[in-house]
Structure 1
Amino acid sequence: MATRDEMANSFGAAAAAYEQGRPDYPVEAVAWLLEPAGAHPRIVDIGAGTGKLTRVVAELVAGAGAEGRGAEVIAVDPDAEMLGELRRSLPSIRTLIGTAEALGLPDESVDAAVLGQAWHWVDPVAGSAEIGRVLKPGGVLGLVWNIRDESVPWVARLTEIMKGSNAEQLMADGGPEVAAPFGALTARTWQWERPMTRAALSAMVHSRSYVITAEPAERERIDGEIAGLFDEIGAVGDATVSLPYVTHAFRAVKA
């Protein structure tokens, strides 16, 4: 089995699958994350990947009429392949190679820092300190995850086949932790469903770090078992099935 670091750095090998298979974030959840950031915020999306969260943040900023009045969205990720995928759909977004622990941004230069599906790869003490450095006083740190709703039997079977993730384990263990200069996290959840074709479901499976880094025999097992499951639930051809999600959002303000 691959190490944690190998999994964390594996996504660029499946950037196209990630873009196709992973969901965007509910607008309501992202708006809640950004509430403390003010009217015309400068926002950094850390671990931006292919832009799943960046896209929603940018749409919210533009929808608030803030474009051209000091608002800006910056996407940071350690993987050039992931950022390349982001730039294909979001060519106007500034991108930087970096991590939560080493952002390469000036002190007190942003109003909000958000991480989608990413904090479980971050050292919470070092990441909190670095993000705190680049946030203005009163700036907000927002963390968000889309987690499949495994109370639905076929979704639980899907997880059994493709194995759980570090993100799911973090939620099961009680959720994320942050350190100075942030206080306690405030949390909210949203439940929703995403219509998905067989191709999109397969891409989602193939975008997961466990599957990307699995040995060929293990990938073959996974592909065979998900094919059988997708047949059972009617995900055949262009037919769609609804994949239920719970979005977990957390925010804290810089002290």
Structure 2
Amino acid sequence: MGAAFAGQGADYDRLRPGYPAAALDAILAAAPAGARDAVDLGAGTGKLSWALVDRHLAVTAVDPSTAMLAAARAARPDADGLATMVGTAEATGLPARSANLVTVAQAWHWFDADAACREIGRVLRPGGILALVWNTLDVQVPWVHRYSRIMHAGDVLKEDFDAPPAPGFRVLGRSMHRWEDPRTTHELIDLARTRSYVITAPAERRERVLANLDWYVHEHLGHAPGSTVGVPYRTDVLVLAPETGAAPTGRTGTGSTDTGEEP
């Protein structure tokens, strides 16, 4: 399934939402004083990575997809502060105790939680934290609920969302932030093209989903083609710290530095 996203970097970066300032505030408020180095695991096109750079952190974006990392660099080719590395959450290839903060946005469900937590514990410096972030359509809004069902969006959360386990870590805090992402009606339809259900569907089913979305947005909801719509999202942030005990040392994994490490 992960390989299906290999060619989606440009559309993913253009259409998927960023992260609200309040969510970044929540993460950094829990980070150790003077935190300077962050690792963004499963970074994709760097949506969260660049947001952390804008908060004056030096960020290493780790992802198994070279296409996604290329899109991250292309988003801001002349900017400093972001390095990219081909690797996985379970084997980053990063030095031990090299980060004050590790983030995972939209990607925890792809990981082997046990192996990833061991690797994160190894990479974190004493006092460092792990922040898990989920950006999802706010299906408490009725029109968004139907919209998500038409495009078979799997990344929606219930109000009583219970975060998945992170072995070896304890929860320091959690927060949820509601906000809107302004999109044209055409982007609302194109957003479906970045969803795994549509990406992997046969051509006929894919076109049927897109046609249904076109009808829903323009005819049922009555939006003029090309007009801007505020899309309601919720962003959930879970902040964790390693359980008491020393993190293992040494380098593990087979991650390899991407050829364009600096943007």
Tell me if both proteins adopt one fold, taking TM over 0.5 as the criterion. yes
Residue 100 (structure 1) aligns with: 89
* 1:163 aligned partner, one-letter code: H
For the pair 1:213 / 2:200, whether they are aligned, the reply is yes
Residue 109 (structure 2) aligns with: 120
Distance in 2 between the 1:223 and 1:250 partners? 34
Distance in 2 between the 1:249 and 1:164 partners? 20
Distance in 1 between the 2:100 and 2:216 partners? 45
Distance in 1 between the 2:100 and 2:76 partners? 21
For the pair 1:174 / 2:162, whether they are aligned, the reply is yes
Shift of 1:235: 4.0
Gaps of 5+ in 2: 244-263
SS of 1:133's equivalent in the other structure is helix
Distance in 2 between the 1:206 and 1:185 partners? 36
Residue 250 (structure 1) aligns with: 238
RMSD across aligned C-alpha pairs, in angstroms?
1.8
For the pair 1:204 / 2:191, whether they are aligned, the reply is yes
1:81-96 matches, cutoff 5 A:
81-91=67-77, 92=80, 93-96=82-85
SS of 1:37's equivalent in the other structure is coil
Identity value in percent: 38
Residue 51 (structure 2) aligns with: 56
Figure out how many residues of one structure are paired with residues of the other and give that number. Answer: 238
Distance in 1 between the 2:107 and 2:222 partners? 32
CA-to-aligned-CA distance 1:9-29 (integer Å, 9 cap, x gap) = 322221111111111001221
Shift of 1:90: 3.1
Which of 3, 15, 24 is residue 21 of structure 1 equivalent to? 15
* 2:33 aligned partner, one-letter code: G
1:195–1:242 Cα contact (<8 Å) kept: yes
For the pair 1:184 / 2:171, whether they are aligned, the reply is yes
CA-to-aligned-CA distance 1:195-250 (integer Å, 9 cap, x gap) = 11023212321111121111212201111100101103244333111110111000
Shift of 1:131: 0.7
Distance in 1 between the 2:158 and 2:107 partners? 11
1:13–1:212 Cα contact (<8 Å) kept: no
Gaps of 5+ in 1: 1-5, 62-70
Shift of 1:191: 0.7
Residue 41 (structure 2) aligns with: 46
Residue 68 (structure 1) aligns with: none
Residue 4 (structure 2) aligns with: 10
2:35–2:101 Cα contact (<8 Å) kept: no
1:34–1:142 Cα contact (<8 Å) kept: no
For the pair 1:77 / 2:63, whether they are aligned, the reply is yes
Residue 136 (structure 2) aligns with: 147
Identify, as 1 or 2, the structure richer in helix: 1
Q: TM-score scaled by structure 2?
A: 0.85
* More divergent stretch after superposition (82-91 vs 227-236): 227-236
Distance in 2 between the 1:29 and 1:228 partners? 34
